[in-house]
Amino acid sequence: APSSITLVFSTNMKFSCVLLTALFATSSAFAPSKSSFRTTSLNLEPSQDPVDKTLNGIDDGAEHDNIFDPLSGAQPALIRNNNDEVWVPQRVRPRRNRKSAAIRNMVRENIVTPSNFIYPLFIHDEDFNQSIESMPGCERHSLPSMLAEVGDAYKYGVKSFVLFPKVPDELKTNLGVEAYNPEGIVHRAIRMIKEKYPESVVCTDVALDPYSDQGHDGVVENGKILNDVTINQLCKQAVSQARAGADIVAPSDMMDGRVGAIRDALDSEGFTDVSILAYTAKYASAYYGPFRDALDSHPGFGDKKTYQQDPANGREALVEAALDASEGADMLMVKPGMPYLDVIRRLKDNSDLPIAAYHVSGEYAMIKAACERGWLEEKDIVLETLTCFKRAGADIILTYYAKQAAMWMAEDGI
């Protein structure tokens, strides 16, 4: 009902996440066990009995009458071939390209490999790891653990990473000055990774929300997010990250004009080789709840609809893409991913730049919840999901499943 839609979009993001969690918890009482989906009385071995393809006499002695015969009548649906077998006289048969695994692999249009992934890692300044309840399998890493996770992912071909910090409350301010502290947690993490894995690609988030005592991506005045003042701070943040060794900076703030300003700031300091992965079409989505749990950075008031895009708009993404490209972006991102495959396709069809898709926390959490209840097979659903991003036009996929997917691919010989 329209009233329900209005309620969902006007409700606080955190409440939406809590509601989903409650619904999943309630449904678990009615969830059949995983094995119950595999129980069947049918013989699961393929039949080896030959089939008489003439199908002559197969309905002789049938207990029911008036059986339709596709081979009879003035205009039969089927005819017989030279061997007297039933035959649909169709020259083009797409199934010929699906008849074996070797042929399917040969003609496959889209192939996902670990080199397509950027692996998001949550970090905090503690000597222990903290599990993230709403994102099973993910955790806030200590810096030594982060480095070990990078090394583990590296073994499976995942060599690109993006860092997201959980910042202590006492370091948060409206101006987000901790964002460009050269000894801040992100800057130290960059140096650690690049020192041990110099060929890795380290991407950083450029936005103030992890560092803001307001919980927003920009500087706040009287409940309004200040566009140009925020960009001033973002330029400082991006340059400081480049100085620490970042290969790619990714502004996720959605301020107008920030890509051009950051490009000029980087270039003026000699960082012409540092790339910009622009969060071009970042929507004001309800799918971000678990991520905000991970960073403890839910909006302190209101929502982010005055700077993130309206989920109802598709053409608007093309406006943002044209602006980001003209301002010097090297790659364009769509976030969230699966609910916005149409937007990925639009950008792919209208831009020559590489397109990234962010398989966000809410999407990850829903897959995890369904698989924990035995409703889906995790490996199958994840690899299909990632392939869908590629088919829609994504060249790059940010996913919390990066390492696990790469491990599955290694098992399958990809």
Tokens linked to 3:
């009233």
Q: Among residues 159, 172, 304, 335, which one is catalytic? A: 335
CA distances from 159 to 150, 187, 283, 291 (A): 8, 18, 27, 22
User: Residue 87 forms beta bridges with which residues?
Assistant: 79
d(CA 346, CA 276): 20
Residues 155 and 404: their CA atoms lie apart, in Å, by: 12
Instruction: Kindly tell me the burial class for residue 169, based on how many C-beta atoms sit within 10 Å of its own C-beta (0-12, 13-18, 19 or more).
Output: exposed
Rounded to an integer, what distance in angstroms lies between the CA atom of residue 197 and that of residue 153?
12
Radius of gyration of the chain (CA): 26
Catalytic annotation, pick one of 166, 172, 282, 390? 282
Residue 238, burial from CB neighbour count under 10 angstroms (0-12, 13-18, 19+): buried
Q: Is 335 a catalytic residue?
A: yes
Residue 381 CB contacts under 8 Å (≥ 6 apart), including other chains: 367, 370, 371
User: Residue 400 has which token pair?
Assistant: 């919390």
Beta-sheet pairing, 79-80 with 86-87:
antiparallel
Q: Residue 335 in contact with residue 309, Cβ under 8 Å?
A: no
Residues involved in catalysis = 282, 335
